[in-house]
Amino acid sequence: MYRNKTEIFNRINSQKGQIAILIDPEKIETDRQLSALISKAQAASIDYFFIGGSTVTRKDMEHVVSYLKENTKIPLVIFPGSSHQISPDADAILLLSLLSGRNPDYLIGHHILASHELHKSKLEILPTAYILIEGGTKSSVAYVSQTTPIPLEQEQIALQTAIAGVMQGKKVIYFDAGSGAKNTVPPALIEMTTHELPDYPVIVGGGIRTIDDIQNFKNSANVIVIGNHIEKNPEFLLDIALMKSKENFEF
Ligand code: 1GP
């Protein structure tokens, strides 16, 4: 039965600059690929694995989550693209309401379809204000959800959307420029949001591909999500490990 668990929420809320690797199960061909990713992620002290994608099947989702569960202690958070992307082996699920769009399926429809299964599961539910910001490319999430992202320069609209979301009871805010975005979400938007809503953790993702990008968000976003770049270049995790070891040295 659904219980209001808070472990992963508290963890996300406890600190800025945490890092999540986004795994799209559709792009995973072998367990060996996952195993190599786990080793590098552990060496870089990655904080979370997010798992999901726009068009992932339940079978691929369940396989990747159960493999990760067996082979790492890094918390597993589902970042679902639709109502069937659920696996009981994960620790939590971002229950995304796509507030930048006006497609009822992504505001409440998928949630109703998933409600029975989520209610029976032990997953921690993280009600999330999910806000797409124009990232300079047509993202697959915008296409699949048939919604338009908030224009890059409309920071006030983005901020008002986040405020409306938390007033509706969302606990987490996720600004996403879309997978493979040319431009990341503007760092100033994350700063404004954490200033206006200091009690609510902010997740940022989309187009993050350099250490400088990470540095831009490390004092404002609670979680910085990296998908594409690590998928194409897992060695980037070594750069993250180096960045972290330099930070520890500075203390
Ligand atoms: C997309 O926020 C994620 O939904 C990650 O984006 O794949 O561009 O890192 P990237």
pLDDT, position 2: 81
How many Cβ atoms are within 10 Å of 209's Cβ, its own excluded? 18
The strand pairing partners of 160, in sequence order, are none
Q: Which two tokens stand for residue 61?
A: 């989702």
CA of 208 to the centre of ligand 1 (A): 7
Please identify, in words, the CATH class of the domain defined by 7-250: alpha beta
Which atom of ligand 1 sits closest to the CA of residue 135? 8
Please tell me the residue having the least CA distance from ligand 1 atom 2. Answer: 205
Q: Residue ranges of the chain with pLDDT lower than 50?
A: none
How many CA atoms are closer than 13 Å to the CA of 179, on its beta-carbon side? 20
Provide the 8-state DSSP code for 143. Answer: H
Task: Locate the domains of the chain by residue range.
Answer: 7-250
What is the best residue among 26, 225, 231, 240 to mutate for testing ligand 1's pocket, by most ligand atoms within 8 Å of CB? Answer: 225
Backbone angles phi, psi at 190, to 5 degrees: -70, -40
What is the best residue among 128, 137, 226 to mutate for testing ligand 1's pocket, by most ligand atoms within 8 Å of CB? Answer: 226
Q: For the whole prediction, is pTM greater than 0.95?
A: yes
pLDDT, position 251: 53
pLDDT, position 250: 67
Q: Which two tokens stand for residue 226?
A: 């990296």
Q: Does residue 122 sit in helix, strand or coil?
A: coil
